[in-house]
Structures are given as C-alpha cells and as structure tokens.
Amino acid sequence: MHQTGSGPVTFVNAVIAGGRGALRVAGSRIASVNCAARPGDLACAGDAVVDLRGDRVLPGLINAHDHLQLNTLPALPAPGLFDNAREWISQVNLRRRSDPAFEAGVAVALNERLLIGGMKNLLSGVTTVAHHDPLYPFLAGEHFPTRVVNHCGWSHSLYIDGEEEVRNSYRSTPPSWPWIIHAAEGVDAEARDEFSRLDALGCVGPNTLIVHGVALDGAQRARLEIAGAGLIWCPSSNLRLFGRTAQVTELCRHGRVALGTDSRLSGSRDLLSELGMAREAAGMDEAALESLVTRDAAALLKLDDRGKLRAGARADLLVLPAGLPLTSATRADIRLVVLGGRALYADTDYAEVMMPSTHWAAVHVDGKPKMLESGLAAALSTARAGESGVSISELTWRAA
C-alpha cells in the first residue's frame, strides 16, 4: 500500500454487500463499485491502492435525529417515568434553574457544544446528521466533523410552537424537502391526539417525518404509511422517559423508519449504542437494522446522494473489522471513517496510507489508540467541554 494523499484511491479486497470487491473514490464522490478486485487491474491504473484485507465497507451512517448542542449536558436523573414530553421538558427547565452543574454545562460556548455533538457522531461512524434545532452557522462550516442536513423544514412540537406556527412551517417547506416534528411523544391522551391534530392541520404528507411516535396506534401508523410519511425512531430516549417505545415492525418492513439518537440528555451515547437498543427493542435482523441508518434514512430525509455504495454517491464511508456486525460495533472498533473522500478517523495502519502524517493527531478512544484529523483534534483539545473517553496524545503524528 502507498499513501493516497488527495488523489483517486481504490479500496481493494473489501467486503461490500457480502462479497469481495473494490471501491474507487475520485475527489468527494464514489467513482465506481467493484471496479476491480486486484491492485494491478488497468481500471485502477494511476490510483493509490488501499488493501482492506477483508474489512467491510458501508456507507457512512445517517443519524436522523439529534440536538447537537445538548450532548455535553449530563443525562438527567429521572424521578420516574413521564406520561408526556410536556412533563419531561418541565423537568429539564427545573434542573436548569436548580442545578449549578447543569447550568454550567449550558453556559459552555455554543460552538464548543456543537463540536462535541459532531464528534459524538463522527466517532460512531456517522457522516450525516439531522439536527432538530436552528441551523447555526458553525454547523455549515467546512471543518464541522459531519454533514448536517440543511435542506429540511422543521417545527419543535405542537406543545412548544402551537398549531398556527406548525401549520405555517409545514406549508413553507418545499415538498422536495423533509419536514420534521416531535409528535406522539408520550403515553397519555394528549400524546395520542397529536398525530390526529397534525393530520387535521394538513401536516401529514409525503415529506412528513414524525420524531418518536410512541403513542401512535395501529390506525395512525397505517395513515402515516398511506401518506408516504415516516417515523424517526429513538428507542433509548423513549424507554428511559416513558418506559415504552414506538411500534415499528410494519413501518420498518416498508422502509418508513429511520433511527435517531436524540441527545445524550435523554438518549444513548451514540448511534452504535442506539442500534444495539433497537435490536433489543424490535428483534430485527442485521440487514433491517442497517437500513435504518443507511438506505431508509437517506430515502426519508430525501438525500439521494448517500446511504448506498454506488457510483456518483458522496464518498462518505465507514470501514469495520472483518466479520464484525454493525450492531455489535463500538466506536473503538471502527477502522476508518471517510467524509467526502477525506479520511477523518482511523486506525493507525489505515491512517498512514490514507493521508500524510501532518493530517493526523494521535488519540485514544475508550482506551484504544486511534488517529483523528489534526484540525478536529486541535479544536477538541481546546474545548471547555471535552468528549468523554477521548484523550489526545499528540497533535502532530509522525510515522515510525
């Protein structure tokens, strides 16, 4: 293997969709899949070659729901299960007024908190995240750790925004964009009624994505499917707050579900942890679970350039060790994450062939040595709110 730098690269001996093959990246896009299985093939002449030796390539994962600025805040100790998101929000507001440590976390600079939200996602193999809050300028910056969905409409909830604002938000969202709202988040009559209220407002259509949907009954789930709408499922958050989660089996069968983490304030550590929870909650097989964070998530978020390994798609890639199921992986297991053709997080052996040594900083992630893009490592090293489990060994790495 020789260093790729920034030119075209062909990954060979890669497991792709269950078989061995090759994947070629040119610039920020996938040029071809299975273009050549051997480094010497003429189809790859002039390319740098990275031998994956049986490691598996997946499209970069998609986290369909996060509040990126809230991931530095400690998970709140719930006094018990809630009936409705209204009660949960009241508890958060009470904690903010009464807990100095919580208030100190909120006082950390917004961009630093957003950075940690981005790092949470990158380190778990996420290359695209749907952020359910304003599109703060920092999120659109060139050096943010992940892509943030920017062509979408959203409203927080009927409870927070009210019917008129919700209806206006939906109507002002182009039909080609997803429109996302928290709804049916709870187990009481108010939560059960929210979907019907949205439908009466004309806000249930082909681009509607309901976040949580814990209280949706069978008829409402059928109506959601008939409308061509979808559900963003956050089982960890739901189970922690309400003791139950949405019924997703039939919707998943028809590709109408994407998986989200919510923030660490109520949800899981990262999307890999969320996949493990989803497996336990719904008993789905590996392929179905993977589709919730790749193909189906991309389709529901109307992102036709990601979620699949195909020519023309963005070169957002995740490499896992040979034979390791995605739902069993942790962020320390991840071998390589590539965003737009640029390696950002890697094991040392891939780091040294993917980019020059000055590109990298040595870090430890959950006790395992890794390499992180040096600009991200520098930003992380100066952030007041760090990422738990990540320590930076040195900001400039030199190969031995």
- Give pLDDT tens digits for 38-57: 545 544 678 889 999 999 99
Q: Please state, in angstroms and rounded to a whole number, the distance separating the CA atoms of residues 358 and 172.
A: 46
Asked whether residue 49 falls in the same domain as residue 103, the answer is: no
Reported as a pLDDT band with limits 50, 70 and 90, residue 95 is: confident
Of 268, 300, 332, at which residue does a domain stop? 300
Decide if 294 contacts 17 (C-beta within 8 A).
Answer: no
Asked whether residue 37 falls in the same domain as residue 73, the answer is: no
State the burial class of residue 204 (Cβ atoms within 10 Å of its Cβ: 0-12, 13-18, 19+). buried
Asked whether residue 328 falls in the same domain as residue 382, the answer is: yes
pTM higher than 0.85, yes or no?
A: yes
Asked whether residue 32 falls in the same domain as residue 149, the answer is: no
Asked whether residue 57 falls in the same domain as residue 69, the answer is: no
Mean pLDDT for the chain overall = 93
345: number of Cβ within 10 Å: 28
Asked whether residue 41 falls in the same domain as residue 54, the answer is: yes
Asked whether residue 333 falls in the same domain as residue 381, the answer is: yes
Asked whether residue 295 falls in the same domain as residue 337, the answer is: no
Average pLDDT over residues 367-373: 97
Instruction: Please give the helix or strand (H or E) that residue 304 lies within, else none.
Output: none
Region of poorest pLDDT, from 3-7, 240-244, 336-340: 3-7
CATH number of the domain bearing residue 256: 3.20.20.140
Of 242, 268, 300, at which residue does a domain stop? 300
Report if residue 400 sits inside a domain: no
More confident residue, 326 or 385: 326
One-letter amino acid at 200 equals: A
Asked whether residue 106 falls in the same domain as residue 186, the answer is: yes
CA distances from 109 to 70, 105, 312 (A): 12, 9, 38
